[in-house]
Structure 1
Amino acid sequence: MAFFTVFGNPVAHSLSPQIHDAFAAQHGLGIRYLPSLTSAGQFRRAVSDFFYCGGAGANVTVPFKESAYELVTHLTTRAAKARAVNTLIPLGFGQLLGDNTDGIGLITDLRVNCHQQLNQRAVVLLGAGGAARGALHALLEQPVASITVVNRTIARAEELAQDSQDSRVTACAFDALAITSGALVINATSISLTDKSGTASLPIATAELAKATCAYDMMYGAEPTVFMQQARSAGVTNVFDGLGMLVEQAAVAFKIWHDVQQLNTPQVIASLREKLKCK
């Protein structure tokens, strides 16, 4: 039986074991996928021990994606651009390939599950951290018209825009944000994770947010996230969370590890959605 894990802290809440078990059931594969709680000081050792003991593959979640980027011996192009790794593939002889499937998971969810058109679409990307970086480079591979990176600290947004080396990307602060009518707004900030009260909101003028036709939060939960609630209050008609992104990025990793081509991701998304509602 092949062994897999996800490294994180915290990690007990991770849906990755359920997702990969569901994919394995679709193909009649016997796998064992368990979460691995570790720390910043022990992360490198934990990864080394896992693969030394025969681990067949691993995922990496917060806060270790940047650490995994520094750890691996080889990188895929998309991981190199994102400067973060969420999927580890053993190559033998102590070598590890690092991949980042978050970006492609986001694009697949937007296009396939959320039915969003990206061709010549104006995109507003909220945040300038690791999640935003991974999303930005994936979006730039699509024929979007423009991407505005918005952040509380304008310098970080400007750094990300400049680093993209793409004329379609600009940066601005929240108080200077002017949203193009029909835009897609993606939340890559941590507000939906850090605000447990559900009362906070991003400093976006309601009139500006109302110009968007789709709001997407890369986070997810049993209830609509803070950003989703803010978007709905502004009158945005299409509002989605990131559960589909989570499943779609996992599907890419699963296909790499198991060399399979087809997975029924909508079935897994629907099943997880029901389980979240029952909690």
Structure 2
Amino acid sequence: MKKWFAVIGDPIAHSKSPNMHNAWFEEMNIDAAYIPLHVKSENLESAISSLKTLGASGWNVTIPHKQTIIPFLDELDPLADKMGAVNTVVRLQDGRLKGYNTDGAGFVHALEEVIGKDNKDQEVLLIGAGGAARGIAFALQLFGYRKLTITNRTVEKAEDIIVELGEGKAMSIKEAEQSLGKFGIVIQSTSVGLANGEVKLPLSLEKLQEGAIAADIVYNPLMTPFLLEAQKKNVTIVNGLGMFVHQGAIAYNYWLEQYPNTNNMIKRLTEELVQLI
């Protein structure tokens, strides 16, 4: 019987996940399909029920469902449980649903492909405190980036993550703008900049230091308003495509116990996205 997978979110039209996973299925001779599903928050519970009823083998979860999906799952991987966010669901052989988080590891892998592994002593500013930010924060800690500050429009949400991490700092957007010059790595983890989404900056980059590393988790467009503005400061740019591909590859491995080719996929999707500019 043919397997099928999906990605659920709101919005979802921008997602390249179907292109990526269907290409991997073809490359690796897997009889499977992957589709995008537009699921609004008020329909999440019924959507999960429908995915189970229709026999989906697993699915990815994107904004805004990474945290709200948890009550509808039967089990969480320990790291996803600690993060309080899920981006990958696996349907186990007994029909139960298990949630994983591959965002954080995917991000760090992509970051280190660009900047190497010798920047762990840098001061890191993480912008945002949503599901993706939680995953990235815990992964940064796990991989040895211990000088972390989180800023968010609602600073209490940033403080909550810092408390769970047991280290780091939280600050308001205004405070982050004023002290931006001390950060060697600045990570934009909100949905600001998404194609079909908001076109604005999460904070002012006026005081961003020259030579810093500016990373964005948004991959469509490749160069977000945040990265375009950061580029004016002569910084190292890390777009969101590497994270997207690596988190997808880890999810693919959870579903099918095979690891796909990420290098070819990054090249392929880069070419596709460049053509859209």
Q: TM-score, normalised by structure 1?
A: 0.89
Question: SS of 2:194's equivalent?
Answer: helix
Q: Which residue of 2 aligns with 1:80?
A: 81
5 Å-filtered alignment, 1:9-158, equals 9-113=10-114, 115=116, 117-158=118-159
> In structure 1, the residue corresponding to 2:90 is in which secondary structure?
strand
- Following the alignment from structure 2 to structure 1, what is the Cα–Cα distance between the partners of residues 196 and 55? 39
How far did residue 265 of structure 1 move?
0.5
Residue 157 of structure 1 and its aligned partner are, at CA, apart by: 2.2
Say whether the 8 Å CA contact 1:118–1:142 is kept in structure 2.
no
Whether the 8 Å contact between 1:154 and 1:172 is mirrored in structure 2 is yes
* Cα distance in 1 between the residues matched to 2:11 and 2:132: 17
How far apart, CA to CA, are the structure 2 residues paired with 1:218 and 1:43? 24
Pair 1:100–1:205, CA change in 2 (3 A): closer
What stretches of structure 1 of length at least 5 have no aligned partner? none
Q: Partners of 2:27 and 2:79 in 1: how far apart?
A: 28
Alignment RMSD:
2.2
Q: Contact 1:68/1:86 (CA < 8 Å) preserved in 2?
A: no
- The amino acid across from 1:203 in the alignment is L
Q: Is the 8 A contact 1:123 1:148 kept in 2?
A: yes
Q: In structure 2, what is the equivalent of residue 216 of structure 1?
A: 215
User: 1:206 matched to which residue of 2?
Assistant: 206
Q: After superposition, what is the alpha-carbon deviation per residue over 1:172-222, rounded to whole angstroms, capped at 9, x for unaligned?
A: 223323246571110112321389685x33434523x12552100111224
What is the alpha-carbon distance in structure 2 between the residues aligned to residue 174 and residue 56 of structure 1? 41
Residues 70 and 273 of structure 1: CA distance in aligned 2, closer, same or farther (over 3 Å): same
Q: Which amino acid aligns with 1:246?
A: F
> Percent of pairs identical after alignment?
32
The alignment partner of 1:63 has SS state of coil
Q: In structure 2, what is the equivalent of residue 264 of structure 1?
A: 261
Alpha-carbon distance in 1 for matches of 2:232, 2:256: 43
Q: Residue 149 and residue 195 in structure 1: after superposition, are their counterparts in 2 closer, same or farther (change >3 A)?
A: farther
Q: Distance in 2 between matches of 1:60 and 1:197?
A: 20
CA contact (8 A) 1:68 1:98 kept: no
Match of 1:255 in 2: 253
Note if contact 1:9-1:63 (Cα within 8 Å) is conserved in structure 2: yes
Q: Is residue 5 of structure 1 aligned with residue 6 of structure 2?
A: yes
How far does residue 255 in structure 1 lie from its aligned partner after superposition? 0.7
Question: Is the deviation greater in 17-26 or in 116-125?
Answer: 116-125
Q: Is the 8 A contact 2:193 2:225 kept in 1?
A: yes
Deviates more, 1:64-73 or 1:115-124: 115-124
Q: Structure 2 CA distance, aligned partners of 1:222 and 1:203?
A: 19
Gap change, CA 1:46 and 1:137, over 3 Å in 2: same
Count of residues in Structure 1 that have an aligned counterpart in Structure 2: 273
Structure 2, unmatched stretches of 5+, are none
Cα deviation, 1:24-60, whole Å, max 9, x if unaligned, reads 2332212111112223233222222222332211111
Give the C-alpha shift of residue 118 in structure 1: 4.0
Deviates more, 1:104-113 or 1:242-251: 104-113
| Structure-2 separation of matches of 1:205 and 1:65 | 28
| SS of residue in 2 equivalent to 1:149 | strand
- Cα displacement (A) at 1:22: 2.0
2:128/2:150 contact within 8 Å kept: yes
| Residue in 1 that maps onto 2:174 | 175
Q: Alpha carbons of 1:214 and 1:6: their partners in 2 closer, same or farther (altered >3 Å)?
A: same
- 1:157 touches 1:171 (CA, 8 Å); kept in 2? yes
- How far apart are 1:274 and its partner, in Å? 0.8
